[in-house]
Structure 1
Amino acid sequence: MTNAVGPRAVFGVIVPSTNTVVEHDYWRAGVDGVAFRAGSMHIPDPTMAGDAGFEALLVQIRASLDTAVRDALTAEPDRMVMGMSAETFWGGVEGNAAFEQRMRERTGLPVTTGAGACRAALHALGVRRISVFSPYQPVADREVGRFFTEAGFDVAAITGLRCPTAMDIARVEEPRLREVVAEIDRPGVEAIVQVGTNLSFVGLAETLEAELGRPVVAINAATLWHALREHGIEDRVTGSGVLLREH
């Protein structure tokens, strides 16, 4: 249901309580007439060191997801956007499809997920061979790689920053991001993909595209692009990468 600050669309955005980046990236894009209402998943223990720690974090996300969705729905949004990504990649293509179906049934709304948005973005960009990085631990990187492989992409490299806590994701600075992109920028790679929504990468992705001469897809730009285009909003956005600027 649109309102005075969102006459074109109101998007419900589901984020972990530790996430400070998603809403910033969406509002920074400055799409006139589009508003966002966050539903927050309570994360009492943000530790995600090692595979066991990361899986324990996912348990917290799954336990609080329905409450976050419930809260966002009180703003009567037009679409639900998942501002959390690891869970949307879990279980590969079938896992993502099942997650999206559960969310549609739960909300009665169209749904944008990180995994689905990245797949659509790469198709729109016309690329197949990709390298991927995340803030995650190996267990999650395996699931991300599985999704992209099952979706028909050639994954040349995938690596994680191994952030020890969920808050540390938002503390990764530009030199480290540049370093990891350089590590995975292999011969023949047509696009770099970043996942992990609390990683601040949208602005740097635009800069790196100019430097590398190829698309660099930041997941927060991909989910915003997908939500807008699926909702029939074709505004071209500058400063957030080629996807929002030209597609």
Structure 2
Amino acid sequence: MDVTFLGGPRPQRGVGVVAPFDFALDRELWRWVPDEVSLHLTRTPYVPVEVSLDLARLVSEHETLHDAVRTLTAIAPEVVAYACTSGSFVGGIAGERAMCCAMTQAGDLPSVTTSGALLEALAELDVRRVALVTPYTVSVTQALEEYVAEAGVVVTGCAYMGLTRHIWKVPYRDVAEMARRAVDGGAEALFISCTNLPTYDVIPQLEAELRIPVISANQVTMWAALRRLGTRAVGPYQALIDPAARQSGPVLPDVPALPALPEAQALPDVPGLPDEEQQQEGWT
């Protein structure tokens, strides 16, 4: 069969993605990407450390980022994204900017990180008060709160899961329940942290239910990277991406509320936070 008349394959523009070694949601990233863009993923080297501030520091070392970006240069992406929230907020705003500089120097191309993209998305949506949901332990969650506060954004509420592994296995219903616990009347948006936490399908439902923009780690990472290409991410009924959803709110036909769960932790506002070693059974 002669297929020369097809004339393909279609030209592609490349986005390089550096992800932590345990990243498991490649397919979710692709869902935000238009047909004319390809993702090229590489991972940081394995280290025998569970999700923690220590791991965040290890997977964001400049030498590690340099080596990862260098592996992508042969295929000539137009932008590179570091897809890890904790790894890009653990050093504060100055640390995040230094990471971008290190990646840009390694590959001579524009660079974004998840936490930098978060602040960019909050500015795009004109949000100054945000609620947070994380799968992390107390200390990692507090580091995120400090990062957001450093940018001048008020954290109105926060809920966390206390996980140190297997974050990609958390079902949507658990993410939705934590979102409901985190949001109060003062939040202008909700951010769901961690690029290993599935969020694509839950965002429209939560926006319809909570009536505020809902942004997630993978969403803002892809949105910011694709912006550098001058193209748009794909995300129907997502306020950050879909202008119609942003202007009039999500319009979804009779989306049923997900059932509430009896056991979920809310980050306490009093002294005596629980020991990091006391993780929730059943989440991992």
TM-score (norm 1): 0.87
Gaps in structure 2 of 5+ consecutive residues: 1-7, 247-284
Gaps in structure 1 of 5+ consecutive residues: 49-53
Do the aligned residues in 1 keep the contact of 2:135 with 2:163 (CA within 8 Å)? Answer: yes
Do the aligned residues in 2 keep the contact of 1:185 with 1:192 (CA within 8 Å)? Answer: yes
Shift of 1:70: 2.4
Deviations 1:20-66 (A, max 9, x none): 11x21222234021001111112242523xxxxx1342354146443
Shift of 1:86: 0.8
One-letter code of the match for 1:124? E
Matched, 1:155 2:152: no
Do the aligned residues in 2 keep the contact of 1:6 with 1:35 (CA within 8 Å)? Answer: no
Query: What corresponds to 2:188 in structure 1?
Result: 190
Mark the structure with the bigger radius of gyration. 2
Matched, 1:17 2:21: yes
One-letter code of the match for 2:203? A
Q: Give the 3 Å change call, closer, same or farther, for CA 47–90 of structure 1 in structure 2.
A: closer
Identity %: 26
Q: Take 2:86 and 2:178, find their aligned partners in 1: how far apart are those partners?
A: 19
One-letter code of the match for 1:118? L
For the aligned residues, what is the CA RMSD?
2.1
Q: Give the 3 Å change call, closer, same or farther, for CA 121–5 of structure 1 in structure 2.
A: farther
Shift of 1:209: 0.5
Paired residue secondary structure (2:133): strand
Q: Take 2:240 and 2:11, find their aligned partners in 1: how far apart are those partners?
A: 24
Query: What corresponds to 2:234 in structure 1?
Result: 237
Q: Give the 3 Å change call, closer, same or farther, for CA 12–73 of structure 1 in structure 2.
A: same
Shift of 1:6: 7.3
Shift of 1:164: 2.4
Shift of 1:162: 1.5
Query: What corresponds to 1:42 in structure 2?
Result: 45
Q: Take 2:9 and 2:24, find their aligned partners in 1: how far apart are those partners?
A: 22
Moved more, 55-64 or 196-205: 55-64
Paired residue secondary structure (2:116): helix
Matched, 1:126 2:126: yes
Paired residue secondary structure (1:210): helix
Query: What corresponds to 1:31 in structure 2?
Result: 34
Matched, 1:98 2:67: no
Query: What corresponds to 1:51 in structure 2?
Result: none
One-letter code of the match for 2:67? T
Shift of 1:187: 1.6
Paired residue secondary structure (1:188): coil
Q: Give the 3 Å change call, closer, same or farther, for CA 19–56 of structure 1 in structure 2.
A: same
Query: What corresponds to 1:109 in structure 2?
Result: 109
Q: Take 1:24 and 1:238, find their aligned partners in 2: how far apart are those partners?
A: 14
Q: Take 1:148 and 1:5, find their aligned partners in 2: how far apart are those partners?
A: 43
Q: Give the 3 Å change call, closer, same or farther, for CA 135–71 of structure 1 in structure 2.
A: same
Shift of 1:90: 1.7
Q: Take 1:104 and 1:61, find their aligned partners in 2: how far apart are those partners?
A: 17
Q: Take 1:6 and 1:226, find their aligned partners in 2: how far apart are those partners?
A: 23
Do the aligned residues in 2 keep the contact of 1:29 with 1:239 (CA within 8 Å)? Answer: no
Paired residue secondary structure (1:132): strand
